[in-house]
Amino acid sequence: DRIEAAARELRAADTAIALTGAGVSVPSGIPPFRGEGGIWNEYDPDTFDVHRFRRDPGAFWADWLELRADLFDASVEPNAAHDALAALSARGHLDAVVTQNIDGLHGDAGSDEVLELHGNARRAVCQRCGRAVPAADVRERVRAGERPPRCETEDCDGVLKPDAVLFGERLPPEALARAERFAADSEVFLVAGSSLTVEPAASLPARAASGATLILVNLDETPLDARADYVFREDVTDALPALRDAVVG
């Protein structure tokens, strides 16, 4: 069947990568941005715009901690989709997981080459000196009334920002460059749980090696469906474990 055929391509590829989006973390209880239950169906994306952060970092943090409380929920764990990708990596069938997610769940699942294009919400970063601190600590301080939270080193009192890419910000250049190199080398490009509507991540599949096989796993349609070799309009926790089983047996 189609899963077997896609699995054969993965087994045969010298280099293969996965690009993931919010849909991969939905089964872990983290809401997506678009589609059913999407954050942007309810909230204005400007809430998390970098210009708003700069204008009023204290209010930004209060909203961030409230609207993205899921990111700090200790009961959130990787699901079968994260596990399947980690297993494919461990068996040498996936060279990197490039993710737009900021929840850190691919790392928790044991994927060792994870490129976080939009950062990681578990860290906060000083806007002046660049020091990173655990976001969980910052959360406690904001809750205790520290608004905005600031770097607390001897010689710096810069404002702390979630170490996540906000609208209006550039992506971490090193992660993006590495993702582009992996993409250019990849003979199989697997996309899971992304609407493929946000640049530059959405254009990464087009940078795959010429003749590369594109495999999409997503509940809703994406702009690349027509170009894909395999489209699985299925839940990631069904399709990815099935793919893993078909690849590693």
CB of 149 to Zn ion, least distance (A): 11
Which CB, 90 or 129, lies closer to Zn ion? 129
The reply to whether 197 sits near ligand OAD by the rule CB under 6 A is yes
Residue 128 near which of ligand OAD, Zn ion, none (CB within 5-8 Å, type-dependent) = Zn ion
Residues binding ligand OAD: what is the number (CB under 6 A)?
Answer: 24
- The position carrying tokens 């589609």 is 35
Strands (E), 29-159: 96-99, 114-116, 119-126, 132-134
The reply to whether 21 sits near ligand OAD by the rule CB under 6 A is yes
The reply to whether 195 sits near ligand OAD by the rule CB under 6 A is yes
For residue 142, report the phi and psi dihedrals to the nearest 5 degrees.
-65, -40
Check: CB of residue 53 under 8 Å from CB of residue 134: no
Residue 241 near which of Zn ion, ligand OAD, none (CB within 5-8 Å, type-dependent) = none
The reply to whether 118 sits near ligand OAD by the rule CB under 6 A is yes
The reply to whether 126 sits near Zn ion by the rule CB under 5 A is yes
Q: How far, in Å, are 48, 138, 168, 200, 232 from residue 51 at the CA level?
A: 9, 20, 7, 20, 38
Check: CB of residue 124 under 8 Å from CB of residue 138: yes
- What is the C-alpha end-to-end distance of the chain, expressed in Å? 15
The reply to whether 236 sits near ligand OAD by the rule CB under 6 A is yes
Residues binding Zn ion: what is the number (CB under 5 A)?
Answer: 7
Q: State the Cα–Cα distance between residues 118 and 103, nearest whole angstrom.
A: 10
CB of 243 to ligand OAD, least distance (A): 13
- 10: closest CA among 228, 221, 212? 212
Contact residue for ligand OAD among 15, 32, 138, 162 (CB under 6 A): 32
Strands (E), the chain: 16-20, 96-99, 114-116, 119-126, 132-134, 160-164, 188-192, 213-217, 230-232
The reply to whether 198 sits near ligand OAD by the rule CB under 6 A is yes
Q: Which of residues 74-103 bind ligand OAD (CB under 6 A)?
A: 100
Active site residue 118: yes
Q: Which of residues 136-175 bind Zn ion (CB under 5 A)?
A: 151, 156, 158
Which CB, 12 or 43, lies closer to ligand OAD? 43
Buried b (16+ CB within 10 A) or exposed e, 177-211: ebbbebbebbbbbbbbbbbbebeebbebbebbbee
Which CB, 151 or 214, lies closer to ligand OAD? 214
Catalytic residues: 118
Give the interface with Zn ion as residue ranges (CB under 5 A): 126, 128-129, 131, 151, 156, 158
Give the interface with ligand OAD as residue ranges (CB under 6 A): 21-23, 26-27, 32-35, 38, 100, 118, 165, 167, 193-195, 197-198, 218-220, 235-236
